[in-house]
Structure 1
């Protein structure tokens, strides 16, 4: 599903209205009616004369609230509208729908100051069973002030359900950041397409459960606007899974070389290899410091290993370079970084490989740290590079604090990919995948159950495994992130909200792929295009 900014949604609306002749009032009617139906589907008991308060602002979001009020009233709900502006300030479609509900004698209480609101708040809290936020829409840019801020903070203090219309009032639709204050909704009903700010952190904390309502915008209106961001979900990723023909063999699905591990971190190499194997790679070889090889071989039966020259501290030395270059000659992808250490000699080796290894490369953990201060080498690289930093690593890469990264995750990831020609997987809540051509995806799976050691190593291996099988870099990264998160979600669904191990996530991946694989995989036909 496409994921839009405020300006992109505005252009889609404009295209629907001007090019395809769908009037604005029709879109507002569809939005309000769809929202009312969504509310009543979830809360059918409202139709038995229960009371609902709707808070409407001065713009079209307030107009949507008026339409919702009318449809709820038609179904027997006792509705009161609190208009947080003067009626004289309403215009356009919002004004039209305001006039309709006044003609229908739906109660409208105009509230323009904190003092006026103080007269109503106790009664509103005690009488109503549900509250609908239609104060501000996606166009809000400045900080929320005045009676609107007061009402938003009051709503957040209630112990009753709050539904937001299109977006929680006060939430930046492009960044997911609150503009001073924002409604913390239990449910948000959004129109047409999901907004970036509802998906990227911390937006989901305010959005609650997201319901997307079709308001009649033609698919062509979306297509013509060439929106390049996707929300990774069950509507997209299953169609990307390639079939595995009955006459295939291990060589069909590629060979991954993993360069990982150092004393005390042999597990990083093991987990990366497991991720590659469980995602479907045909062959995996681990190159690691020679002193660690006996440990590795007792832990991973299915992966091959290559003992490499090491420093006096047991980390990979620059003397390993020539052998690694030989090893990559018959491999499809190199995964590098997990547990490699910050030893200066090892870091120097990593930087040389990043530039000179003519093979697609997934760069994680200590390999990401190795290019801090050396970002220019990414432009010198001679093949595909996928970076998988967490917010702290991203901050060190681009010279920003972690909180600055978290506040502008999308723009920073996209800028890094565009400037250096790399694919960026910015990990965290709603992991982002950015491509150098401007394509971006935001993941919808995963959660706090994945917050434990080794999860990133498994993800690195999975992305490398998908690359080895012939997926293009963007889809390989997207599928790795999506399936990794979904595996965590499935395990969480088994009442394991914490204590999930990275090995368990890796073990769950084949089952995830089995559920996502399309029906065509059961046929004897070949894929139309193996390199998607």
Structure 2
């Protein structure tokens, strides 16, 4: 499913009106009707229920006036509160405001202290508040009277339905602009907006409905929208189908390079992730002194000792051994638990620079790339990088806060500059490609905020590549499966979940998607 930015949605609306001749009033009517249809599902019956429509002066308010008309026609008791004066409303919104005015619907212009008292009383006794204050085009910070009104909505403790997007949420980034309406449900039009899936905006959207308002499908194709929402239907067709006659050699070979003294667990979880997602043969190469520990820890994974430094990390001498292992493998995952010894980081760069097999690069291997990301463009196969926000901040020179403030833009820009697939982990994980295509994941939960879950993701993506998926498809499918396994594990309790719980849930997650 595609997701449109505010500018893209504005252009879609413009094209529908000017290129296809659909009157703006028709789109507004369809939008309002779509919200009423959802209200009919949420609140049954509409008749005799009390509704407060909180309206702004723009087209979002116009949608609210349409909603008011249809609710009244169904027997609802409606009050419309307009933040400002009627004289400031124009265009299609004014047409619909005049209609409900002639219908005798109660319209209160919030201009005096007494008007504020009226809205507080009405909100207290309403069954539902409809947020039609600000649309997707809002930019800036919420303050003054708008902030006061949003506080009234949020403090009322009522069912709140947002029109297109909760007021105060940035449609592109999910950023909350000082304050935002906490919606129970959001009905968005035409296409979903990225900010409805990205945190913190996703927390304010509540249950999301995407409504068709009659925009010609050709317009959306013409826009060449590059934001995608990852759902089960996105990845079900691309997952590998295992033959009834399959054997381990047909299911892919994964090489994992990781681990160091005191950090063997990270590499082990990467190997387990690859195993549990269906790869046939996994070899974990680690510093020689760790081999006995890892051999005991990982019953089904082969281990291989590598030359190491005095600090118990791999040394540059291990590069030849890693190259030999990679030559017998379908993919190489490198980084979890490697450590940051200067000899190790040099070895990592040599591996990235010389190997021709697909690479999944994580953790300390990302640290080795700080200041050296230019070498990624020369990789023989498109590499997959899986940074968390702190690692992305280190790689880009931004702050972690700046990375999280605009996850899609940061991931997209990095993927383009580095010629790589960038999997920016977090809530929500974003997958970006060098051509600007971006996928926003929809699975996962807060129970995954624990050590090792990122290491598991590295193994999952590598395991899918080994089974024949392109690096592109493996990254997208991997983040969805990873989050879904976390959701399966969380069914037994979110707090106290471990990465091992997630890894064990991978077969059930795959079965839920594909049925095998």
Q: TM-score, normalised by structure 2?
A: 0.96
CA contact (8 A) 2:488 2:508 kept: no
Report the alpha carbon displacement of residue 116 of structure 1 after superposing the two structures with TM. 4.9
The corresponding residue for 1:79 is 78
The corresponding residue for 2:345 is 347
The corresponding residue for 2:13 is 13
Report the alpha carbon displacement of residue 403 of structure 1 after superposing the two structures with TM. 0.8
Q: Please state whether the residue corresponding to 1:119 is helix, strand or coil.
A: helix
Match of 2:511 among 502, 514, 517: 514
The superposition leaves residues 55-89 of structure 1 with CA deviations (integer Å, 9 ceiling, x where unpaired) of 11111100110111111112221110001121112
CA contact (8 A) 2:81 2:119 kept: no
Matches of residues 391-430 of structure 1 in structure 2 within 5 Å? Answer: 391-430=389-428
CA–CA distance in 2 between the matches of 1:269 and 1:483? 19
CA–CA distance in 2 between the matches of 1:23 and 1:2? 24
Is 1:243 the equivalent of 2:241?
yes
Is 1:69 the equivalent of 2:76?
no
The corresponding residue for 1:524 is none
Report the alpha carbon displacement of residue 333 of structure 1 after superposing the two structures with TM. 0.8
Match of 2:479 among 481, 492, 504: 481
The superposition leaves residues 267-309 of structure 1 with CA deviations (integer Å, 9 ceiling, x where unpaired) of 1121111111111212111111111111111122222111111
CA contact (8 A) 1:426 1:432 kept: yes
CA–CA distance in 2 between the matches of 1:439 and 1:252? 31
CA–CA distance in 2 between the matches of 1:320 and 1:26? 67
Match of 2:501 among 504, 515, 527: 504
CA contact (8 A) 2:110 2:116 kept: no
Report the alpha carbon displacement of residue 311 of structure 1 after superposing the two structures with TM. 1.1
CA–CA distance in 1 between the matches of 2:73 and 2:243? 56
The corresponding residue for 1:182 is 180
Report the alpha carbon displacement of residue 373 of structure 1 after superposing the two structures with TM. 2.1
Is 1:128 the equivalent of 2:126?
yes
CA–CA distance in 2 between the matches of 1:476 and 1:40? 41
Q: Please state whether the residue corresponding to 2:317 is helix, strand or coil.
A: helix
The corresponding residue for 2:325 is 327
The corresponding residue for 2:437 is 439
Equivalent residues, number: 516
CA–CA distance in 2 between the matches of 1:290 and 1:175? 46
CA–CA distance in 1 between the matches of 2:414 and 2:280? 32
Q: Please state whether the residue corresponding to 1:108 is helix, strand or coil.
A: strand
Q: TM-score, normalised by structure 1?
A: 0.93
Report the alpha carbon displacement of residue 6 of structure 1 after superposing the two structures with TM. 0.6
Match of 1:466 among 461, 464, 467: 464
CA contact (8 A) 2:123 2:153 kept: no
Q: Please state whether the residue corresponding to 1:236 is helix, strand or coil.
A: helix
The corresponding residue for 2:373 is 375
Report the alpha carbon displacement of residue 426 of structure 1 after superposing the two structures with TM. 0.5
CA contact (8 A) 1:359 1:384 kept: no
CA–CA distance in 2 between the matches of 1:105 and 1:118? 21
CA contact (8 A) 2:124 2:156 kept: no
The superposition leaves residues 132-178 of structure 1 with CA deviations (integer Å, 9 ceiling, x where unpaired) of 11011001113234322221122222222222110111221111112
Q: Please state whether the residue corresponding to 1:27 is helix, strand or coil.
A: helix
The superposition leaves residues 491-514 of structure 1 with CA deviations (integer Å, 9 ceiling, x where unpaired) of 22x241211221221121122222
Match of 1:281 among 268, 279, 282: 279
CA–CA distance in 2 between the matches of 1:234 and 1:117? 48
The corresponding residue for 2:108 is 109
Match of 1:213 among 194, 211, 214: 211
CA contact (8 A) 1:117 1:147 kept: no
Q: Please state whether the residue corresponding to 2:202 is helix, strand or coil.
A: helix
The corresponding residue for 1:41 is 41
The superposition leaves residues 357-407 of structure 1 with CA deviations (integer Å, 9 ceiling, x where unpaired) of 111111111111111122222234333211111111111111111111111
Distance 1:379 1:222, change over 3 A: same
Distance 1:322 1:137, change over 3 A: same
CA–CA distance in 2 between the matches of 1:383 and 1:230? 24
Is 1:156 the equivalent of 2:131?
no
Report the alpha carbon displacement of residue 201 of structure 1 after superposing the two structures with TM. 1.7
Q: CA RMSD in A?
A: 1.7
The corresponding residue for 1:490 is 488
CA contact (8 A) 1:241 1:516 kept: no
Q: Please state whether the residue corresponding to 1:125 is helix, strand or coil.
A: helix
CA contact (8 A) 1:376 1:420 kept: yes
The superposition leaves residues 448-483 of structure 1 with CA deviations (integer Å, 9 ceiling, x where unpaired) of 011111111110000011111221222111111001
CA contact (8 A) 2:120 2:152 kept: no
Distance 1:126 1:94, change over 3 A: same
CA–CA distance in 1 between the matches of 2:123 and 2:29? 28
User: Where does structure 1 lack aligned partners over 5 or more consecutive residues?
Assistant: 522-532
Distance 1:117 1:404, change over 3 A: farther
The corresponding residue for 1:294 is 292
Matches of residues 265-276 of structure 1 in structure 2 within 5 Å? Answer: 265-276=263-274
Report the alpha carbon displacement of residue 40 of structure 1 after superposing the two structures with TM. 2.2
Report the alpha carbon displacement of residue 341 of structure 1 after superposing the two structures with TM. 0.9
The corresponding residue for 1:529 is none
Query: In terms of mean alpha carbon deviation, does 138-147 or 266-275 score higher?
Result: 138-147
CA–CA distance in 2 between the matches of 1:85 and 1:472? 55
